Amino acid sequence: MKKYALVLAAGKGTRMRTELPKCAFPILKKPMISYIVENIEQSTIDDICVVVGHKKNVIEEILQNRVCYAEQLEQLGTGHAVLSAASQLEDKEGTTFILPGDMPLMEYPVMNKILRAHEEMGNDLTIVTMKLENPKGYGRIVRNEYGTVTGIIEENDCNESQKLIKEVNSSVYVVDNKLLFKYVKQIKKSDRKGEYYLTDIVTLMHQNHKINTFMLRDPMIGMGFNDLYGISIAEKYLRESINKGHMLNGVSIINPETVTIGHNVSIEEGVWIYPNTTIIGNTVLKRGCRVGPNSEIIDSTIHEFAEIRHSIVVDSEVGENTTVGPFAHLRGHASIGKNNRIGNFVEVKKSTTGEGTKAAHLSYIGDSTVGSRVNFGCGSVTVNYDGVKKNQTVIGDDVFVGCNVNLIAPISIGDNVFLAAGSTVTKDVPKGALAIARNKQINKEDYAKHFIKPKDDQK
């Protein structure tokens, strides 16, 4: 039988106090709902349906065509949200895994365990529960004298004895698909809030169908996060979990409480990561490289034994044995070759460099193809923008670019060229040439007195 996931992501999330819909809010700089969908995709679930509503375009922009969508036009509770997906799921045979869109810590191995337990116990409905010492705010799991689940009572509807129950509802369910929509249609609107509670299907089903629970060992896995303080708790949990996994796999992380590593980052053993460093997106760190301190790496690949210090690398690649920083910035698909030196206050954008190239300080390399063993002197710039469009600079091998050289693109520099310091080069330079493009110096004797008074006259 097929398995379906139904993710409820239509809410506004007013307690977040943000313009973003709650399920789109970032955790470790990735939208909350992306964690959920990525884990579902790795599970044994076949298809995903996401219920959208408030600012649905934001959720749809994040998930694109990875899922199908159902729209909840009015937010009238969880039962109403499920009913909104009837057109997508009602006629399908199988099992539906229902979970909220604000539950980013539930990973696919747990999802698979829940689904397997549901099948092995022959349940019609499995309720995922947690045991909390302080269950305030959660719906309580109510059982009869035989231990059979007879209902879920929301906090505000509990009597004093029910409030003492520590087993609570996580809002995650696995249910036979046909039964789900049969009983959701029977849910009555709550008198107190005017909403349709999905929890009411337990009362409707328990006499004629098999209902069981699956208790999470770690309650954090089943937590939903509704405000910015909750987001900080989720981030701390994820950060510690991710860092621990990498350290157990041979990655040295100094002061791990200050290091943030994203969910999709791949790190080989033998890597060193230093304090106050953020590594996110689809980043790959190869064996023996060193990153940090005070660095940010996003969607980039850092090759073996490269070193990134006090720098930012975005959408770029750094070659083997290359050093970057301090205070360098690589972006826009920069591709730095092996054994390079990208030094202090150097920016490289949408450019490639060959092996052994050096830009030690205060340079800008943009929209350029740079060969091997090129040396950029201090203050050298590829002038790629003419005010209308970006233009290309091509530099051959074994080129010396003197200090404060401006290369006005589009321009091509041949191999074995020497560009004299202070030159503004506007024409192509052939192989083996020396290019000097600066005005002749003129000294006017005894002229400075017009600008600078002698010290004896300064009061």
Q: Which residues are catalytic?
A: 361
Asked whether the beta carbons of 294 and 273 are under 8 A apart, the reply is no
* Neighbouring C-alpha atoms within 13 Å toward the C-beta of 377: 15
In Å, what is the CA distance from 417 to each residue of 161, 330, 374, 378? 87, 26, 10, 17
CA distance 206 to 190: 20
Number of continuous H segments (helices) and E segments (strands) in the chain:
8, 41
CA distance 39 to 281: 16
Asked whether the beta carbons of 222 and 111 are under 8 A apart, the reply is no
Selection from 237, 230, 301, 287 nearest residue 263 by Cα: 237
Asked whether the beta carbons of 403 and 377 are under 8 A apart, the reply is yes
CA distance 426 to 452: 35
* Whole-number CA gyration radius for the chain: 31
According to DSSP, the residues that pair with 376 across neighbouring strands are: 359, 401
Asked whether the beta carbons of 176 and 124 are under 8 A apart, the reply is yes
* Contacts (Cβ under 8 Å, ≥6 apart) of 412: 393, 394, 395, 428, 429
Q: Quickly count: other Cβ atoms within 10 Å of residue 427's Cβ.
A: 10
DSSP 310: S
In Å, what is the CA distance from 53 to each residue of 12, 69, 85, 383? 8, 10, 12, 48
